[in-house]
């Protein structure tokens, strides 16, 4: 029995499913999760001592590479001064100023400890600001596990939400409408039916939780126009795309200014920092200034902020995103070429440092096309790559992530493993 097997068996005795977040359990791909002992640069090692080229990067945070010396040094220095004070620190000011500088649509920002907390708080703020209850989200987008976000498309004309999770009362879901990603007509119709009841539209402007899916410019522009016209808050959930697809996030690529933005992952550099921010006139509704309550013991934690600030400094180095984008594009184009040579139906896409791989002829343009992909083929490819020392996201419905440490040699090693893996599929 491998160390991973014995650790997994033991973990399941004390933790539901043996994991602290469901996607880590390999339920979608089958097999035994790898228990990671350490990580460095583009690599991590499992409990059996096997090295992997890592393409999840903690689901986005490890953009400068694992255990970057500058980040580790910043964390060690901060930790030596104490771990948490429950009182304000200068570091939180520096982080807030940096976020406002890098994301111009954010005039004020509140730090929290997870993307879920950031999205949940931002939605409460939008409801408080507008005095309205309805929120629109899109099928396939994930905004954390707050009750009102665990909602799937309802039946019937108005697509009122139904819970996707046990434990979520129908009443908590009924104020969430779930529409189709990239469907402008449906958005227009919904706003014309009830625009004056909509508090916010929340969207992943580059989606990464159904696999990578790009929003069309028309989709986001329609959203922006309708929210302005009807007084609804346009909220970009850039927890994943923020500082990942570009320094200014997806909003800088599309040239669209949301009213609020949700951030996470990269701004913590691997430690728990997330944030929500936007127009100052909206943010001032937050306690202690205004009537919308929100709080957090570890919000703005000094050690986590040190990791985040160090990471934000590194990604602002000249050419960082040109290089990251080039490496990611080299990866996805190389994968497509290898699949073609093997005669496997496959496509791929990349936006900045995140990518999608699809076992379908064309790059999907909506949720239905993603769902039509060959999941079994993905699972076979996932395990063939895992055996070859390449760790992809353990689900056909997740995006992948490249770091600044994924050099040409690392990408070439990955593509060699892919050629062998595609050959196995074609056999």
Catalytic residue positions, numbered = 142, 237, 265
Q: Minimum Å distance from CB 331 to ligand KE4? A: 19
- DSSP character string of 345-404: --EEEEETTEEEEESSSS---SHHHHHTS-HHHHHHHHHHHHHTTEE--SSTTS-EE--T
Asked if 276 touches ligand KE4 (CB under 6 A), the answer is no
From the list 204-212, 226-234, 346-354, 381-389, the region that binds ligand KE4 by CB under 6 A is 204-212
Asked if 58 touches ligand KE4 (CB under 6 A), the answer is no
Asked if 114 touches ligand KE4 (CB under 6 A), the answer is yes
The Cα 55–Cα 121 span in angstroms is: 30
Q: Are 275 and 264 in contact (CB under 8 A)?
A: yes
- Closer residue to ligand KE4, CB minimum distance, 266 or 388: 266
Give the residue from 174, 228, 162, 241 showing the smallest Cα distance to 200: 228
- DSSP character string of 108-167: EEEEESSHHHHHHHHHHHHHHHH---EEEEETT----S-GGGSEE--SSTT-B-EESSTT
The Cα 347–Cα 367 span in angstroms is: 15
From the list 2-10, 110-118, 165-173, 224-232, the region that binds ligand KE4 by CB under 6 A is 110-118
Q: Count interface residues toward ligand KE4 (CB under 6 A).
A: 19
The Cα 180–Cα 141 span in angstroms is: 10
The Cα 234–Cα 319 span in angstroms is: 31
Of how many residues is the chain composed?
A: 427
Q: Are 276 and 122 in contact (CB under 8 A)?
A: yes
Asked if 142 touches ligand KE4 (CB under 6 A), the answer is yes
Q: Are 271 and 168 in contact (CB under 8 A)?
A: no
Interface mask (CB under 6 A) for ligand KE4, residues 10-29, using x and -? -----------x-x------
Kindly tell me which residue out of 8, 44, 52, 59 binds ligand KE4, with binding defined by CB under 6 A.
59
From the list 6-14, 82-90, 140-148, 354-362, the region that binds ligand KE4 by CB under 6 A is 140-148
The Cα 178–Cα 2 span in angstroms is: 43
From the list 45-53, 142-150, 174-182, 364-372, the region that binds ligand KE4 by CB under 6 A is 142-150
Kindly tell me which residue out of 91, 140, 144, 302 binds ligand KE4, with binding defined by CB under 6 A.
144
Kindly tell me which residue out of 29, 239, 350, 370 binds ligand KE4, with binding defined by CB under 6 A.
239
Q: Map the footprint of ligand KE4 across residues 343-382, applying CB under 6 A.
A: none
* Residue number closest to ligand KE4, CB atom: 115
**Pair of tokens at residue 168:** 């979520």
Kindly tell me which residue out of 25, 119, 179, 392 binds ligand KE4, with binding defined by CB under 6 A.
119
Q: Minimum Å distance from CB 195 to ligand KE4? A: 25
Interaction site with ligand KE4 (CB under 6 A): 21, 23, 59, 114-116, 119, 142-144, 204, 208-209, 237, 239-240, 264, 274, 398
């Amino acid at each position: 029995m491998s160390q991973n097997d014995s650790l997994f068996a033991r973990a399941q005795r004390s933790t539901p499913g043996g994991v602290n977040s469901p996607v880590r359990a390999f339920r979608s791909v089958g097999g035994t999760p790898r228990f990671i002992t350490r990580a460095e640069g583009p690599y991590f090692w499992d409990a059996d001592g096997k090295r992997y080229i890592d393409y999840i990067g903690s689901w986005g945070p490890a953009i400068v590479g694992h255990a970057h010396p500058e980040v580790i040094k910043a964390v060690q220095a901060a930790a030596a001064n104490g771990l948490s004070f429950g009182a304000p620190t200068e570091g939180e000011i520096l982080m807030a100023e940096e976020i406002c500088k890098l994301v111009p649509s954010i005039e004020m920002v509140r730090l929290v400890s997870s993307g879920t907390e950031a999205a949940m708080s931002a939605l409460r703020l939008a409801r408080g600001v507008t005095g309205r209850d309805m929120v629109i989200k899109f099928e396939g987008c994930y905004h954390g596990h707050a009750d009102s976000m665990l909602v799937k498309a309802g039946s019937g004309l108005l697509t009122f939400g139904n819970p996707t999770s046990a434990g979520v009362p129908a009443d908590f879901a009924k104020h969430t409408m779930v529409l189709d990603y990239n469907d402008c007509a449906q958005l227009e119709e919904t706003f014309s039916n009830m625009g004056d009841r909509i508090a916010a539209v929340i969207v992943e402007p580059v989606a990464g939780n159904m696999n990578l899916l790009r929003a069309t410019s028309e989709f986001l522009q329609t959203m922006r126009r309708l929210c302005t016209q009807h007084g609804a808050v346009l909220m970009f959930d850039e927890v994943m795309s923020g500082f990942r697809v570009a320094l200014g996030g997806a909003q800088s690529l599309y040239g669209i200014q949301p009213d609020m933005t949700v951030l996470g992952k990269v701004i913590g550099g691997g430690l728990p920092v997330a944030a929500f921010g936007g127009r100052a006139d909206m943010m001032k509704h937050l306690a202690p200034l205004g009537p919308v309550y929100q709080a957090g013991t570890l919000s703005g934690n000094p050690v986590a902020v040190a990791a985040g600030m160090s990471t934000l400094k590194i990604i602002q180095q000249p050419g960082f995103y040109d290089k990251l984008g080039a490496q990611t594009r080299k990866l996805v184009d190389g994968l497509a070429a290898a699949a073609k040579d093997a005669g496997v139906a496959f496509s791929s896409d990349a936006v900045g440092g995140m990518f999608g791989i699809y076992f379908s002829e064309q790059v999907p343009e909506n949720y239905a096309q993603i769902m039509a992909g060959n999941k079994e083929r993905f699972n076979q490819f996932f395990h063939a790559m895992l055996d070859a020392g390449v760790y992809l996201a353990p689900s056909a419905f997740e995006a992948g992530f490249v770091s600044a440490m994924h050099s040409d040699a690392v990408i070439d090693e990955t593509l060699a493993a892919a050629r062998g893996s595609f050959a196995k599929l074609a056999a």
